[in-house]
């Protein structure tokens, strides 16, 4: 079950596990998740209260998914975060009402697989205890959260897995997927406009768009950075200790022997003893020819019943333990390089096995792995110090919100500084979006230290504003040329749009695209039948062509699509050819079926959650 959860922790399942496990278990997250104190709830679901700090965590996770996207509504994003938490709680409560259970063994196995608690790929009990203790959370509390998440996932799967795909649905998808559309188009390039604009027009544009012509708000910060790698460098590990660790872990620095093998297979032509004797005679005859000096690879190509490996001279690659039957493996392991075995019988028939390459097992010497072992040891020990110091950093900078000096002195860190940067861009540390968001937060602009900002799993930063420059209007003289360029661009786009509308009108009146284009001094291009994955034409044009209505017989479907550079494509779709119902590639058809199952499962589960929410006692605290 646990592997199934990991394999399927995506789509409709992912956000529950992220909210319950991943998001709250960030460096300073568990305590915030469990300890909600006396706050007024943002919402209640039954008897469970959801607090603002939980909404903030879910909101911040959404922000991480919007890196590089500037145009989004923060209030809407917070509403969506709260909505997700409500849905998750409704699902969890419904699962509990149905008495779904997860055993202690399953919960323990899942916890021991979480990367937070692994050292060299293995569960580290000490790290587990340290991390939970640093958050003031008991193993019982954390295990309860994990068990609840797994029960919720089990419940979701029960609903989503009930989806099914009909033959008609699959055939429709295959027709659409392989569909081709005939495309004719004419491109209207953005014209050059030499129009003069009066001072009054320029000034009016400036007044209408004054907010766009402002020097942006800027800040510079001072900060403390706690880095895992920096802590690791300060940890001393002597050669005597490394030698001891090497002896304990020597097996991990070895490579097993590798045997590359080839074979010639002679299968039986029946199931009786006579058939067995005939196969033995054939394989012995081949063995004799090998003894006489004939080439193994050529005989494999000529005589082997395994035609796949036979084409490669019998090559099966490197011997893998457990991949072949025991008799085959034992015979292969007994061979010396270049040696051919006596006939070996398996359920497939009789084999002649040749060892074509042998690489002996090797243990890397201490001198070769010393530095690697030192760095691994330093890093393992630094992880514990990183989480402990991270907690201290959070505590001290919270207790002394007006300065970083106290934390710097107690933790042996250096207060560093950046230059000025905006909300959208910066240099050095300010290239990190999370740093910019923290620097421009209300609390930090108000003179307080930030909460710890996590940069990946290996760095944490607490910052405060050093200098703040408010946004200011630029003078008209400074932006006059930019305004002129914008006015000319707007005029050019209007001309192109006007020409586009004239072409579309002629197409709707029954003229061909060739005639309409020629009357406007343009050239019609006949692209022929194109597919959805066409990469020779602009993506916007291909997308528009496949979202246009299907043309009626003898009539074209006209349309237009504008590109970011201002050019416009006017197109016509004369005809459509559907793809084949049955894919020539069975894997493609199977993939299409799985896509429909996933989509159907998401729809089924989404509808089920909506119904649960209608029946649940949900109260949302209204806020401005």
Per-residue pLDDT of 345-373, as tens digits, reads 988 899 999 999 988 888 888 888 888 88
Cα angle value 288/289/290 (rounded, 5°): 90
CATH number (2.60.40.790, 2.40.50.140, 1.10.20.10, 1.10.4030.10) of 2-163+604-620 reads: 1.10.4030.10
- pTM metric for this prediction: 0.47
Look at residue 2 and tell me whether its pLDDT is greater than 60.
no
pLDDT in tens, 23-46: 334 333 334 444 444 567 888 888
Question: For a pLDDT cut of 70, what percent of the chain falls above it?
Answer: 90
Query: What is the rounded average pLDDT of the residues 519-547?
Result: 94
Please tell me if the domain spanning 179-211+479-577 has the same topology as the one spanning 257-360.
yes
Look at residue 142 and tell me whether its pLDDT is greater than 90.
no
Burial class (CB in 10 A: 0-12, 13-18, 19+), 421: buried
Look at residue 6 and tell me whether its pLDDT is greater than 60.
no
Domain boundaries, the chain: 2-163+604-620, 179-211+479-577, 214-233+382-473, 257-360
Q: Sheet of 618-620: strands edge to edge?
A: 48-50, 43-45, 618-620
SS (H, E, C) 493-558: HHHHHHHHHHHHHHHHCCCCHHHHHHHCCCCCEEEEEECCCCCCCCHHHHHHHHHCCCCCCCCCEE
Give the C-alpha separation, 28 to 451, whole Å: 9
Enclosing H/E stretch for 316:
strand 315-318
CB 119 within 8 A of CB 159: no
Which residue is associated with the tokens 């009054």? 200
Q: Is domain 257-360 annotated with CATH 1.10.10.60?
A: no
pLDDT value, residue 22: 42
Among 121, 124, 107, 97, smallest CA distance to 21 is for 107
Among 134, 152, 114, 149, smallest CA distance to 30 is for 134
Look at residue 204 and tell me whether its pLDDT is greater than 90.
yes
Beta bridge partners of residue 318, listed in sequence order: 260
pLDDT in tens, 45-80: 888 888 887 888 777 777 766 655 555 677 888 888
Residue 297's alpha-carbon distances to 263, 264, 306, 319, in angstroms, are: 9, 9, 13, 18
Tell me the average pLDDT of the chain: 84
- Distance from the first to the final alpha carbon of the chain: 44
pLDDT in tens, 168-197: 777 777 888 889 999 999 999 999 888 889
φ, ψ at 136 (rounded to 5°): 70, 30
Name the CATH architecture for the domain at 179-211+479-577: Roll (3.10)
The string over 404-414, giving b where at least 16 C-beta atoms fall within 10 Å of a residue's C-beta and e elsewhere, is beebbeeeebe
Name the CATH architecture for the domain at 214-233+382-473: Roll (3.10)
């Amino acid at each position: 079950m646990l592997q199934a959860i990991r394999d399927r922790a995506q789509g409709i399942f992912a956000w529950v596990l992220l909210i319950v496990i991943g998001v709250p278990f960030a460096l300073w997250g568990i305590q915030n998740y469990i300890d909600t104190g006396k706050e007024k709830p943002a919402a209640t679901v039954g008897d469970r209260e959801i607090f603002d700090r939980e909404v903030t965590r879910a909101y911040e996770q959404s922000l991480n998914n919007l890196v590089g996207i500037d145009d989004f509504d923060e209030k809407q994003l917070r509403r969506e975060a709260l909505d997700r938490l409500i849905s998750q709680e409704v699902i969890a409560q419904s699962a509990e009402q149905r008495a779904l259970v997860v055993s202690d063994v399953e919960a323990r196995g899942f916890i021991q697989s979480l990367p937070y608690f692994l050292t060299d790929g293995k569960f580290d009990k000490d790290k587990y205890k340290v991390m939970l203790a640093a958050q003031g959370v008991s193993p019982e509390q954390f295990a309860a959260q994990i068990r609840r998440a797994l029960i919720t996932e089990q419940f979701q799967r029960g609903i989503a897995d009930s989806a099914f795909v009909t033959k008609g649905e699959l055939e429709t998808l295959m027709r659409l997927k392989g569909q081709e559309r005939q495309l004719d188009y004419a491109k209207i390039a953005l014209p050059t406009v030499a129009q003069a604009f009066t001072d009054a027009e320029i000034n009016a544009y400036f007044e209408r768009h004054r907010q766009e012509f402002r020097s942006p708000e800027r800040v510079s910060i001072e900060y403390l950075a706690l880095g895992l790698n920096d802590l690791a460098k300060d940890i001393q590990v002597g050669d005597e200790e490394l030698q001891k660790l090497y002896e304990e872990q020597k097996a991990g620095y070895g490579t097993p022997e590798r045997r590359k093998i080839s074979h010639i297979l002679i299968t039986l032509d029946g199931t009786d003893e006579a058939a067995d004797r005939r196969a033995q005679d054939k394989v012995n005859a081949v063995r004799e020819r090998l003894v006489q000096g004939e080439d193994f690879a050529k005989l494999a190509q000529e005589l082997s019943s395994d035609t796949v490996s036979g084409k490669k001279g019998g090559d099966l690659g490197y011997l893998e333990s457990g991949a072949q039957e025991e008799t085959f493996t034992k015979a292969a392991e007994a061979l010396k390089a270049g040696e051919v075995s006596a006939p070996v019988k398996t359920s497939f028939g009789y084999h002649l096995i040749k060892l074509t390459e042998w690489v002996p097992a090797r243990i890397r010497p201490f001198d070769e792995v010393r530095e690697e072992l030192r760095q691994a040891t330093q890093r393992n020990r630094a992880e514990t110090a990183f989480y402990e110091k991270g907690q201290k950093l959070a505590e001290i900078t919270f207790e002394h919100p007006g300065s970083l000096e106290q934390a710097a002195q107690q933790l042996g860190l250096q207060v560093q500084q950046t230059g000025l940067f905006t909300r959208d861009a910066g240099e050095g540390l300010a290239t990190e979006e999370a740093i910019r968001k923290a620097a421009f937060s209300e609390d930090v602009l108000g003179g307080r230290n930030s909460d710890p900002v996590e940069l990946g799993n290996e760095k944490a930063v607490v910052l405060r504003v050093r200098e703040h420059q408010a946004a200011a209007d630029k003078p008209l003289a400074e932006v006059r040329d930019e305004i002129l360029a914008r006015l000319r661009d707007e005029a050019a786009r209007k001309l192109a749009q006007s020409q586009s509308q004239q072409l579309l009108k002629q197409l709707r009146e029954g003229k061909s695209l060739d005639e309409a284009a020629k009357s406007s001094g343009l050239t019609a291009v006949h692209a022929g039948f194109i597919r959805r994955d066409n990469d020779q034409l602009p993506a916007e044009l291909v997308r528009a062509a496949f979202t246009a209505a299907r043309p009626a017989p003898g009539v074209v479907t006209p349309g237009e699509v504008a590109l970011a550079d201002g050019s416009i494509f006017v197109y016509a779709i004369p005809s459509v050819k559907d793809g084949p119902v049955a894919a020539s590639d069975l894997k493609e058809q199977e993939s299409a079926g799985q896509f429909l199952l996933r989509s159907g499962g998401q729809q089924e589960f989404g509808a089920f959650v909506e119904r649960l929410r209608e029946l649940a006692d949900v109260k949302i605290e209204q806020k401005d």
